[in-house]
Structure 1
Amino acid sequence: MPKQKLDTLSDGGVHQGIVLGITPYEYLTLDDLLTKTAEVEAPFLLILDSLEDPHNFGSILRTADASGVSGVIIPKHRSVGITPVVTKASTGAVEYVPIARVTNLAQSIKQLKEAGYWVFGTDMEGTDYRQWKVSGPIALIIGNEGKGMSAGLKKDVDEMLTVPMTGHVQSLNAGVAAGLLMYEVFRKRSEL
């Protein structure tokens, strides 16, 4: 095809000479995700609380696949979903990491707890992540890029985790924080 046609089909995005038409992404329900991870000895789920940046989401999916995360939960509203940018940034991980899309994160956390999960949040105040007990089924909440975790979810967690920092900037990019914490679980579980 002529380059102009590819430019039009990709809506002006960088296509590198290839455009593929696909069906819309089919999200799992939380029940489907719990069923899918039931065979995993100690499932590790990520809960993304209103993440907005598709590059962060794609990066998190890529790291989730690399570090053995069992699945990801995202809210249906006020959050980035699976888009072409997310798919590209994930370098294909979107095809391997199960993703559930839910209407209410607070109700989903309650359901996870009923299923035996320990739920951890991320904040500037909390337990040093290096002291994190990662055995058994766990879920980790990564907050919004600008606002962090929503106040409503903070009261539902079993423990808050923090990444100690000594610099002048007192926050990390959501994708970087998520990657650090995912690999902490991977490291600790690999030592067992």
Structure 2
Amino acid sequence: MSKEIIYGINCVSEAIKNSNREIYRVIACKENSERISTILKNAAAAKIRIDFSERKILDKICQSPHHQGIAAEVSHLKTYEIFEALALEKEAKKAMWLAADSITDPANLGSMIRSAVCLGFTALVLPKNRTAGINSTVAKVSSGALEKIKIIEVSNLNSSILELKEKGFWIYGADAKGEEISQAQVAFPLLMIIGSEGDGMRLKTKEHCDKIISVNQKSDFDSLNASIAAAILMYQISLKNK
């Protein structure tokens, strides 16, 4: 099985709790904090190998200095088919899923995942092409949320949208010219699609949407990046899911 490195306190802590991850080893700086000590105790209790390292060496292992003194060598995150993710929903009729269309910035994707988990979205539909893949940057920026969401990798987003429609999902796409979300009526279960900052959703994807929604901005200054817009839309949608 292929391996990858993830890093950061929350990221490693949540990975250890995730039964869908295999943790091959945890790597920590010799001088560490109380929070890292707690993670190491949990790793030891789970019989996970623990290695200690100099900070400069850990920088090289992570290919980043932003590891907070801890990293882990892990298996790739489990991905799901649509039917598998649906079967795991506690309340399928109220399901809220997110889709990323042409989101190529891993930091944006990680931030979206963090907001999605906080706001009750339970799955991410992620095209295999033209979108950032799941990597260590996505994991770090998500601050552990990546371990709590079902990742559905698809070859064709539009085909997956049609499949979800057949299963009763309503499809909502984000676009600056859409209906303002606080005023819009939405139905569940739903899939909300976020497109790239530059081009938005692809035209064919937009055509499959049941409704286009937007964030009401108070000025004509277009200052919201994709992850912030996604967070606002997901928050407003979560308020309507009663």
Query: Which of 166, 174, 191 is the equivalent residue of 2:226?
Result: 174
Where does residue 19 of structure 1 map in the other structure? 71
Shift of 1:38: 6.6
Where does residue 86 of structure 1 map in the other structure? 138
Shift of 1:142: 0.5
Where does residue 106 of structure 1 map in the other structure? 158
State the TM-score, normalizing by the size of structure 1. Answer: 0.92
Where does residue 40 of structure 1 map in the other structure? 92
Query: Which of 16, 25, 28 is the equivalent residue of 2:80?
Result: 28
State the TM-score, normalizing by the size of structure 2. Answer: 0.74
Summarize deviations over 1:36-81 as a string: whole Å, max 9, x none: 2274331111111011111111111111111111211010011112
Where does residue 200 of structure 2 map in the other structure? 148
- SS of residue paired to 1:22: strand
Where does residue 214 of structure 2 map in the other structure? 162
Where does residue 95 of structure 1 map in the other structure? 147
- SS of residue paired to 2:172: strand
Alignment of 1:114-129 (within 5 A): 114-129=166-181
Quick check: 2:95–2:121 contact (8 Å CA) kept in 1?
yes
Runs of 5+ in structure 2 lacking a partner?
Answer: 1-52
User: Percent identity of the aligned residues?
Assistant: 35
**Equivalent pairs, count:** 190
Structure 1 segments (4+ residues) deviating >4 Å:
none
Where does residue 46 of structure 2 map in the other structure? none
Shift of 1:100: 0.5
Distance 1:96-1:53 versus aligned 2 partners, 3 A rule: same
Tell me which amino acid in the other structure corresponds to 2:60.
T
- SS of residue paired to 2:192: strand
Quick check: 2:128–2:153 contact (8 Å CA) kept in 1?
yes
After alignment, is 49-58 or 165-174 more displaced?
165-174
Tell me which amino acid in the other structure corresponds to 2:158.
A
Runs of 5+ in structure 1 lacking a partner?
Answer: none
Which protein has greater RCO, CA pairs closer than 8 Å, 6+ apart? 1
Quick check: 1:50–1:74 contact (8 Å CA) kept in 2?
no
